Chain A
Amino acid sequence: MIINAVGRELPEKIGNYTVRPFMGIGQAKDDLPVVVSKRRPTLRPASGTKLLPTLEDAIKACGLQDGMTISFHHCFREGDMVIGQVLTAIRNLGIKDLRFAPSAVVNIKNPSVTEFVKDGTITRIEASGIRGELGDAVIDGLMENPVILRPHGSRPRAIESGDLMIDVAFLGASAADEYGNATGQIGPNACGSMGYAFVDAHNAGKVVIVTDNLVDYPCAPISISQQYVDYVVKVDQAGDPAKIGAGAARMTKNPRDLMIAQRAADAIAASRMFKEGFSFQTGAGAISIACTNFLSERMEQAGITASFALGGIPAAIIDMYKKGQVRVVACSQSFDAVAAKAIVECPGVIEIDNAVYSNPYSKGCMLDKLNFGVLGALEIDTDFNINILTGSSGEMMGGLGGGPDVADGADISIVTLPVVRGRTPSIVPKVFTCCTPGTSVAMVVTEAGIALNPKHKYYEELKEDLTAANLKLVTIEELCELARSIVGTPKPIECTDKVVAVVEYRDGTVIDVIRQIKR
């Protein structure tokens, strides 16, 4: 057993996986070799098309074989219809034992990914999170090999370092031409930014564009360029627009969530970093959307504008752009139809590669320039460690997303959450799964007050600014005790020794593992 820098007990090896323990932020001793890629120079005949009649044809043309690695992006979210069709075609060809490495596993149904695990088509999974039916099955020990979970910023690093070499990438697009130029910005099933597809397109051995909307050559705008694409397949439907993100998320009416959101906006406005040209990322949860709206009000009152907003973008941020409150909106993902359309309509709303958004192992990602990051969480403990993966009974609830990246990248990272949800305490002595190290978290905002992290680099300055603004400050221990006094002490969840998932940090080290739940 090894104990890592956040006090988690880890085995030294999990099957073939060698554990590199988390040593603390910026402590990874990587010798950083040359970037590796499976992309090969390919001399194509000058005439001809890349269009193939069916997915089966494309899979055969790519030379997909047992044991290889396939990837997808998750920009269509729950409306994705590419993954199911491709996996079905692969199964029809009798190819097995694949490593399935999408940027995130969305909860697709009919067919669900679980079916392909059960029949042996997929035997390994690497993603940012697994939830729903697949998550439940994995935590009950469905798979022999542990699922590798990485935050968004770590995926490009893993691909370029050789930890995750992709043989074939199947990239859904809402519009594409027959020579492989593709985008998510136009078409009936537009998903907006295709930020999570770039690193796959640039580094996979073979790249297949799957679209339901074949347009005249050349497709414009171009997100994925023809120079990276081997084949194009047209399917009847690549996405379900109702589930891709139908409309703007409405402002929550939950008074507790509104109170937390307002307090988070007040905390931002109280900071000395809240000045002309500041930058922020607020995310897409109910509290986040409300916080975005309150932040817009505070900016109006203070008469300042932001230089940029970053990450997954909802309609609330597009509203701010249209009001002239944000100069650039850098979208690694578009969370709804309003945000998806905005990239085409507004010059300052731009599509960015996920690697530019969040990869710390590059010559600079945009998170490095971020002032304020607002985060959600399932649990946070008295060391400010965050759990965004496992729920109250140990079940898989979410994905890492960019949470660990934003916490580390932003000058001031703000976790917003209620003290309890139902009977589940959110502030606990020790999180069940550690995803984000507490040292990267500046403060926790709850309905019962704001707890500043005394170990954060901006603690003194925040304490001064928030005190001057008369914001209610409490300690994290007080919040933890308040939660306990309301709901009682939960019985610890019992696990077996079998590791079902490995949680990697931004640098590829292991911050925690998830063990099978004892039933």
Chain B
Amino acid sequence: MDIKQTAVAGTMESSDVMVTVKPASEPGLSIHIQSNVLTTFGDQIRAAVEAVFADFGIRDAEVFLNDKGAIDCVIRARVSAAICRATGEGYNWKGEDK
């Protein structure tokens, strides 16, 4: 699965996160986080983003998060939605049944 275009998911509301996924300009996953809880939860936010990309099997992308205090499940959902939009592929809902 490849990132074909720039795509966005999420909002700037409190407890949400706005995720932008772009095709990578260089190999690898480059994650940029803006967050009001960066000092206390930055590592956990980064880990959540990396886990979603690993699940999708995507190695190369540029990701921007404008986080307003989203919890992990929200971050995973927004990143997944942004990836689906950026790859143009539908979400594998059957995976949820496992």
Q: Interface residues, chain A, CB within 8 Å of chain B?
A: 392-394, 421-424, 486-488, 490-491, 493
Contact = CB atoms under 8 A, between A and B. Distances in A.
Interface stretch (B21-29, B35-43, B56-64, B84-92): B35-43
A422 B15 contact: yes
Contacts of B15: 422-423
Contact of A491 (B41, B68, B69): B41
Contact of A392 (B40, B68, B71): B40
Given A392-B37, A393-B38, A491-B39, A422 B44 contact: no
A82 to B, nearest CB: 33
A493 B38 CA distance: 11
A488 B69 contact: no
Question: Which 9 residue pairs spanning A and B have beta carbons closest together?
Answer: A422-B69, A490-B40, A423-B69, A393-B39, A423-B37, A422-B15, A491-B40, A488-B44, A487-B71
Nearest to A517: B39
Interface residues of B, number: 16
A393 B44 contact: no
B70 interface: yes
Nearest to A491: B40
B41 A486 contact: no
A393, A394, A421: residue with the most chain B Cβ atoms closer than 10 Å: A393
Given A393-B40, A423-B37, A490-B40, 18 more contacts: A392-B36, A392-B40, A393-B36, A393-B38, A393-B39, A394-B39, A422-B68, A422-B69, A422-B70, A423-B41, A423-B70, A424-B40, A486-B71, A487-B71, A488-B41, A488-B71, A491-B39, A491-B43
Contacts of B14: 422
- Summarize A's interface: helix, strand, loop or mixed: loop
A302 B65 CA distance: 52
A395 to B, nearest CB: 9
A44 B61 CA distance: 79
Interface of B: 14-15, 36-44, 68-72
Contacts of B38: 393
B37 A488 contact: no
B70 to A, nearest CB: 7
Nearest to B38: A393
A486 B70 CA distance: 10
Contacts of A493: 39-40
Nearest to A492: B40
A486 B44 CA distance: 13
A100 B85 CA distance: 56
B72 to A, nearest CB: 7
Contact of A393 (B37, B43, B71): B37
A488 B39 contact: no
Contacts of A424: 37, 40, 69
B16 to A, nearest CB: 9
A422 B35 CA distance: 11
Contacts of A487: 41, 71
A422 B69 CA distance: 5
Nearest to B70: A423
Contacts of A491: 39-43
Contacts of A421: 69
A393 B38 CA distance: 8
A419 to B, nearest CB: 12
B39 A423 contact: no
A166 to B, nearest CB: 38
Nearest to B14: A422
A421 B69 CA distance: 8
